[in-house]
Structures are given as C-alpha cells and as structure tokens.
Amino acid sequence: MRTDPNNPSHPLVQLAKAAIECYIDSGQSLPVPAEPVKEMQDRAGVFVSLKKHGQLRGCIGTFTPMTQNVASEVIRNAIAAATEDPRFSPVRAEELQELNISVDVLSAPEKVNDISELDHKKYGVIVAKDYRKGLLLPDIDGVDSVEEQLRIAKLKANIYPNEPVEIFRFEVRRYY
C-alpha cells in the first residue's frame, strides 16, 4: 500500500493497512492496539475505502457504530473492504503495494427536512424507506450535485427514483 514518505498516513489509515495485511497474510484479525490514539477510542460509524490506480477497489462501512470503538470498526471494515465487497474479488497479496486507503469517521446522522439543508461536498446522505437504506459519502469524484448524490443513494438501497424517503445527513472526518 502506497504511502508518501513526505506525508505519512494517519494512524487510522495505518491501522486499516495493518489489518488488511495481517488478514491476507494469516487469515487472522489484527488485535485492537493496546494504547489506541484518541481518534480510535470514540464510538462512530466508519467507512474504509480502497483505491487502486485511482479506481475504487473496495469500500465497506457502518452507518452507526457496531463495535466498542473506532479502532475495532476500522479493523472490521478494512478487512471487509478488502475481502467482502460484493462488487470486487478479494484483494490479493500482490496488490497490497498498489492500494491507497482512506478512512471516513462519520458523525451521528441527523434528519433533514428539506434538500436545501444538504451539500454534496460537505455532507454524506442516508436515504431510508421502510427497511431499505442507502448511504453515499460526501465529496465523491463524479458526484456533482445533491440530486445526483440522492439518486445514487436511492439506487444503492433499491428505492425507486420517485419514492418518497427519509433523508439524513452526516459529516465525515476523512483520513488518508
């Protein structure tokens, strides 16, 4: 996995990288660090995104926390992004050096009453209809409007374009 020697990656990204390498090498999950940095101690939803040569190679995450802390979420979602994203085959050991990783830590979702409260660069969105939910992170390449962001989130949730939905927004802290 590439890192810029002049710009070392954030500890959350280093943890995601180590989790993927450990799992691919041994089939075992990486233990949570004994002394996690502050950003790893909170509880939050986390998305881990993998890119290879600028193209998405895996992305898995949680809307809300599913484990005891961000460190556990990163480990769990990094492994899943590398091995369980249904859009891609599992990452192979020989690909590791070609991957770039980002980790998004999500704020708690807040209900939106009108799309004027959204900004596709600043906020991610969650759309919900009955049991179906779709999420799209903010500031995604190729997503140039709130309407496009909502359309994609609905598509991911198998919600028809004209179906009314509940809309929630969230912010992310993105680490590279």
pLDDT at 99: 96
The predicted-structure confidence for 71-89, as pLDDT tens digits, reads as follows 999 999 999 999 999 999 9
Q: How far apart are CA 108 and CA 128, in angstroms?
A: 15
When pLDDT is averaged across residues 146-151 and rounded to a whole number, the result is 98
Half-sphere exposure of 97 (CA within 13 A, CB side): 1
| Lowest mean pLDDT across 4-18, 45-59, 93-107 | 4-18
Residue with tokens 């909502």: 150
Give 40-86 as a DSSP string: HHS---EEEEEEETTEEEEEEE-SS--SSSHHHHHHHHHHHHHHT-T
CA–CA separation, 176 and 165 (whole Å):
32
Taken in order of first residue, the domains within the chain and their CATH numbers are: 11-106 (3.30.700.20), 110-175 (3.30.1490.150)
What is the rounded distance in angstroms from the CA atom of residue 137 to the CA atom of residue 156?
12
Residue 48 has pLDDT above 90, yes or no: yes
Average pLDDT over residues 103-120: 97
pLDDT band at 8 (very low <50, low <70, confident <90, very high): low
- Extract the tokens encoding 111: 């209900």
Looking at the DSSP bridge assignments, the partners of residue 174 are: 104
In this predicted structure, the answer to whether residue 7 has a pLDDT above a threshold of 70 is no
Instruction: Judge if pTM exceeds 0.75.
Output: yes
> How far is it, in rounded angstroms, from Cα 62 to Cα 48?
9
